[in-house]
Structure 1
């Protein structure tokens, strides 16, 4: 349901991760040839996994517990992605063709913030449903 605030948060989180994918394109050499580094498949897998989990979580709005668990897995995935970015930025020697230091490293943190906000909204909905069930 699009009118629920946690769905909006999850869509924003997926959009942030999609912008991260656009921010870190495949590194191209000077002659236009594609250079794939050793960590590139890991980064792309983590980014696509995070986008997929956010979309699946947004679509499973009827089962709030599953949505909550998927968001927690997504938060862990984003922390792993952040760790990969920090490791790569610390092991870089100088500047590469595509700068990997900057706002792109902060995008997983922004995604984590929106996922936490979505989990708080899901928890609030779950508490509301439990309180209504108590009154019956």
Structure 2
């Protein structure tokens, strides 16, 4: 069952949460330095934890209920990370020194979309197995 579509969605989420955080900056501070997720251990921890939950979810394909729960936990973790980013962006000074928000702040949104699609496919598989079990 590793070749299912939800595995592709989960792999895409892992790629977003681990690979792209080193490519795209989160914001530019008032001194003109770009801030990446690797610069702050809190953000890096959230990104890595979400990727690890998705990786564990890939390899728990035999237990679809736990796979679904792990996907939901990863979605919740991404929403928390998104909330931290929104809070941080509202606290960035925007008066005299202009601070730019980077595309890295949108990475949790892309990951949430992939995780929702994966959970939808997992739910579809679970419903299919339940319908076949009813026929026996």
TM range (shorter): 0.7 to 0.9
> Residues 40-90 of structure 1, C-alpha deviation per residue, up to 9 Å, x if partnerless?
221111011001001110111111000000000000000010011111111
Taking structure 1 as reference, are residues 20 and 87 closer, same or farther at Cα in structure 2, changes over 3 Å only? farther
Aligned equivalents of 2:71, 2:134: Cα separation in 1 = 27
User: Does the 8 Å CA contact 1:46/1:78 hold for their aligned counterparts?
Assistant: yes
**Corresponding residue of 1:18:** 18
Q: How many residues align?
A: 123
Aligned-residue CA RMSD (Å) = 2.2
Taking structure 1 as reference, are residues 95 and 62 closer, same or farther at Cα in structure 2, changes over 3 Å only? farther
**Corresponding residue of 2:74:** 74
Counterparts of 1:55-94 in structure 2, within 5 Å, are 55-93=55-93, 94=97
Counterparts of 1:103-118 in structure 2, within 5 Å, are 103-118=103-118
TM-score in terms of structure 1 length: 0.82
TM-score in terms of structure 2 length: 0.82
User: Does the 8 Å CA contact 2:21/2:104 hold for their aligned counterparts?
Assistant: no
**Corresponding residue of 1:122:** 122
Task: Structure 1: give runs of 5+ residues left out of the alignment.
Answer: none
